[in-house]
Amino acid sequence: MHKFATAVALAREGVPVPDALLALSGDRLNADRDRFGGEAVYKTAIGTHGGGTWKVDLDSPVNPRVGSRQAFLQAYLERDADRHSDLRVYVVDDRVVGAMHRHAPEGEWRTNVALGGEVTDAGDSLPADVAEIARTATDVVGLDYAGVDIIEGSDGWAVLEINPTAGFKGLFEATGTSPAPHIAALAIERAGGSVDPETVTKLAATLDDSRPACMPRPTDQGPTEPLVVGYIEEVVVSGTRGSKTVAAKSDTGATRTSIDARLAAEIGTGPIKDTVRVKSGSVKTGKSRPVVDLVVGVGGTQHTVTASVEDRSHMEYSLLLGRDILEHYLVDITRRADDDTDATETEE
């Protein structure tokens, strides 16, 4: 669950991992950031699907926390500058049941399938030492099964992360094999039962997403009160250089959240992931705006979204909450975090 603690455990047992640095104080974290070179990976200690992970330019200082989560620096390893790639190796009960190459989509350095990464089969070409690293890493952390992310740098192979809840979709797409039957067989055997190996192999070649006929009846949890946000809501925005509490305007007509360029620079958002065309007012063709990963805290819940960056200096609010965040809430247009402010702002 905790990326840095996992890396420490692996390093102690001699499993190769990228150099990394976590510190509770900003002074300590930034004092040694030059040891990573000109750029590094900046991660929250807890995160999934590539969220809470940035490639940062180390000319500027970074913050030891992103919102409520501890963050750390990790060496950026790359062998192919044209297209970033790594390996995911699936281990079940000390056996490699499949492996795939993951290739980052165009304009992206992260290889996560959830972010659009492409996958190819690596089973036949998987080096024996990489398979051994994956098995050892899984054992060191104490897992029965895991998806182990491994990358080749200039000094050899290194474990990036170990995922106890790694998804199966990418592996099946790449290899035609699902780890699920192998995991189920292990559970049955641990409970004292037995499983026919041929049945496991046959089932692993079929990714069955159908709902079984023996599904239990859902338990009626009763009605739940939806969370409500105001027309103007106080939120916490976080980047690589810090966090700031700001008043944000809720706009259910906006597809994505938008942040003022000055605020984005102040908290250290980035790097720019892409440029998108955003329709604005009566301009039919729209305007091109860069987009960046942004962490927004609303009432104690953090959302990592891809926000557009624009000049909002002529507007009253430096942050606009779009449907990418508001879809999780009900919006009460009569509620404002700034009751003393006139509600006549004209928004694009």
Task: Give the model confidence (pLDDT) of 98-136 as tens digits.
Answer: 999 888 777 666 777 766 778 889 988 899 999 999 999
Q: What was the pLDDT predicted at 277?
A: 65
Q: What average pLDDT does the chain have?
A: 84
Report which secondary-structure segment, H or E, holds 161: strand 156-163
Q: What was the pLDDT predicted at 1?
A: 65
Q: What was the pLDDT predicted at 76?
A: 86
Strand bridging mode 319-321 / 242-250: parallel
Residues 108, 54: contact at Cβ < 8 Å? Answer: no
Among 56-60, 74-78, 161-165, 340-344, which is the least confidently predicted range? Answer: 340-344
pLDDT digits (tens, 9 = 90+) for 288-302: 788 888 889 998 788
Answer yes or no: is pLDDT of 168 > 70.
yes
CATH of domain 85-204: 3.30.470.20
CATH of domain 228-335: 2.40.70.10
Answer yes or no: is pLDDT of 234 > 60.
yes
Mean of pLDDT values over 21-39: 88
Q: Between these two residues, 343 and 129, which has the higher pLDDT value?
A: 129
Q: What was the pLDDT predicted at 242?
A: 80
The reply to whether 85-204 and 228-335 are identical in fold is no
Mean of pLDDT values over 267-271: 77
* Coil, helix or strand at residue 113: helix
Query: How far apart, in whole angstroms, are the C-alpha atoms of residue 243 and residue 72?
Result: 15
Q: What was the pLDDT predicted at 61?
A: 82
Domain chopping of the chain, boundaries: 19-75, 85-204, 228-335
Residues 85, 153: contact at Cβ < 8 Å? Answer: no
> Which distant-in-sequence residues (6+ apart) come within 8 Å of 296 by Cβ?
235, 236, 237, 238, 248, 257, 302, 303, 305, 307, 319, 321, 325
Query: What percent of the chain has a predicted confidence (pLDDT) above 70?
Result: 82
Residue 307: count other Cβ atoms within 10 Å of its Cβ: 28
Which tokens go with 301? 């819940």
Answer yes or no: is pLDDT of 343 > 50.
no
* Coil, helix or strand at residue 232: strand
Mean of pLDDT values over 303-318: 90
Q: Over the range 192-215, which residues count as b (16 or more CB within 10 Å of their CB) and which as e? A: eeebeeeebeebbeeeeeeeeeee
Answer yes or no: is pLDDT of 283 > 90.
no
Mean of pLDDT values over 38-52: 76
Residue 251: count other Cβ atoms within 10 Å of its Cβ: 19
Q: Fold for domain 19-75?
A: Dna Ligase; domain 1 (3.30.1490)
